[in-house]
Structure 1
Amino acid sequence: MLTMHQVARTYDDGQPVHALLPTDLHIAAGDHVSITGPSGSGKSTLLNIFGLLDAPSAGAYHVAGVDTVTCGPALRTAIRGQVFGFVFQSFHLLPGRTALENVEIGLLYGPHRRRKRRQMAAEALERMGLGHRMRADPRQLSGGERQRVAIARAVAARPQVLFCDEPTGNLDSANTQGVLALLRQLNRDGLTVVVVTHDPTVAETAGRRLRVTDGVVREI
């Protein structure tokens, strides 16, 4: 599904900063992968390249066989929108819009008409156990419920890969366990899940664990 060959990322901040050293990495369809490492180690850089939010300075990165380095920006945008879903530590939900409307917003740039978008959003919320909270404003929801709305928004378009950046960082232990259970179920249903986390409890739920240290990626 995701293949990196000698992928590296260097930033020029007056002098070169090697955020990610040449890396060979393969993530298969259906994998559940955690990425850990200290702050500034390069794990966010790795995730951003995986999600086509940043481009490598060197190397080749293929998504389902497509060379994303040499293809055009339109195809990269299409892959990012159709193949990938994203969940972040901050929920990024719009107050004044219902949970259903927040999920539907994530489908606006897809090919579906309004009625189909509404149906897909409702199905995603039902899947997250929030069928009874569709009409709630995010300000009326708990932290765990808001993160489940954010996950529903990420999976409503039925992506093949879900990228999560510290998805439990704003949650207490009980809500963390609830979100982790959802991620495990999504993975069991066939979704490839990649999670960046500082939390060892979160990392240990993944079938594969990667650790990034000073731009070097190794498998635990």
Structure 2
Amino acid sequence: MLELTDVSRTYDDGHPVHALRRATLRFAEGEYVTITGPSGSGKSTLLNVVGLLDAPDGGSYRVRGVETVGLGERLRGGIRGQLFGFVFQAFHLLPGRTTVENVELGMLYGPHPRRVRRRMAMAALDRIGLAHRAHADPRTLSGGERQRVAIARAVGGRPRAVFCDEPTGNLDSANTGTVLALLRELNAAGLTVVVVTHDDRVAAEGHRRLRVVDGIVGEE
């Protein structure tokens, strides 16, 4: 599904920071991959490049056979909106909007017309067991519930892959288990899941584990 060949990303922070060095790897359809490594090693950079949130400096990155390096942001955003969903450590739910409205926001740049987004958002909330909180303010939800809503937002538009950056970093052990069970269920249904984590319990969930050190990606 996703194929990187000699992909690099360097930032200029007064001096060059080689966040990703000639990464060559593939992510198969329906795979569950976890990514570990020290802080500042390039894990999030790798996730952002694979998720088309950031553009590499060089190399080749193909999404379902389509070369994305060199594409403008509009075309990259179109691919991202149709195929990818994202979950972050901070839940990024908007106060003042209901839970279901927050889930709908994840579909704004996808192919689904407005008239069907509410139905899809409700289906996503039902899938995570929170349909009864559809019209609640996210500020009234627990941390575990907020992260489940964030996952519903990521998958509500029916993407083919979901990218998670420390999705359990703000959760206790019980809620971590709930989120991991949900990701496992989504993967079993065919969704490609890629998770960056510091947590060995989370990392053990993957079919395959990558480790990033000083921008170099290896496989464990």
- Alignment TM-score, normalising by the size of structure 1: 0.96
**SS class of match (1:24):** strand
Q: Distance in 2 between matches of 1:44 and 1:106?
A: 20
Runs of 4+ that moved beyond 6 A: none
Q: Distance in 2 between matches of 1:60 and 1:172?
A: 39
Write out aligned runs for 1:1-220 (5 A).
Answer: 1-220=1-220
Deviates more, 1:111-120 or 1:135-144: 111-120
Structure 2 unaligned regions, length at least 5: none
The offset of 1:6, in angstroms, is 0.5
SS at match of 1:80: helix
Alignment coverage as a number of residue pairs: 220
- Shifted more, 189-198 versus 75-84: the winner is 75-84
Please, what is the CA RMSD of the aligned residues?
Answer: 1.2
**Cα deviations by residue, 1:105-143 (Å, 9 ceiling, x for unpaired):** 222333434331110000000011112211211111111
Secondary structure (helix, strand or coil) at the match of 1:46 reads helix
Distance across 1 between alignment mates of 2:64 and 2:208: 19
Asked if the contact 2:11/2:17 (under 8 Å) is kept, the reply is yes
The one-letter code sitting in structure 1 at the alignment partner of 2:101 is: E
- The Cα of 1:200 is off from its aligned counterpart by 0.6
Corresponding letter in the other structure for 2:79 = I
> Partners in 2 of 1:179 and 1:121 — Cα distance?
18
TM-superposed deviation, 1:14: 2.8
TM-fit CA distance, 1:73: 2.9
- Alpha-carbon distance between aligned partners in 2 of 1:46 and 1:54, rounded to the nearest angstrom: 9
2:138 and 2:160 map into 1 onto residues whose CA distance is 27
**Secondary structure at the counterpart of residue 167 of structure 1:** coil
Q: Deviations over 1:37-75 (max 9, x none)?
A: 000111111111101111111111111111000333322
Scaled by the length of structure 2, what TM-score is found? 0.96
> Is the CA contact 2:78–2:109 (under 8 Å) kept in the aligned structure 1?
no
8 Å CA contact 2:78, 2:110 repeated in 1: no
SS, match of residue 162 in structure 1 = strand
Instruction: Go from structure 1 to structure 2 and tell me whether the alpha carbon gap of 1:18 and 1:132 turns closer, same or farther (over 3 Å shift).
Output: same
Shift of 1:100: 1.0
**1:214 shift after superposition:** 1.0
Q: Any idea what SS the aligned residue of 1:9 has? A: strand
**Identical aligned pairs, as a percentage?**
70
- Indicate the SS of the match to 2:159: coil
CA distance in 2, matches of 1:182, 1:210: 21
CA deviations over 1:9-48 (Å, ceiling 9, x no partner): 1122232221111111011001100000000111111111
Amino acid at match of 1:51: G
Which moved further from structure 2: 47-56 or 99-108?
99-108
Which residues of structure 1 form unaligned runs of 5+?
A: none
Cα distance in 1, alignment partners of residues 9 and 106 from structure 2 = 29
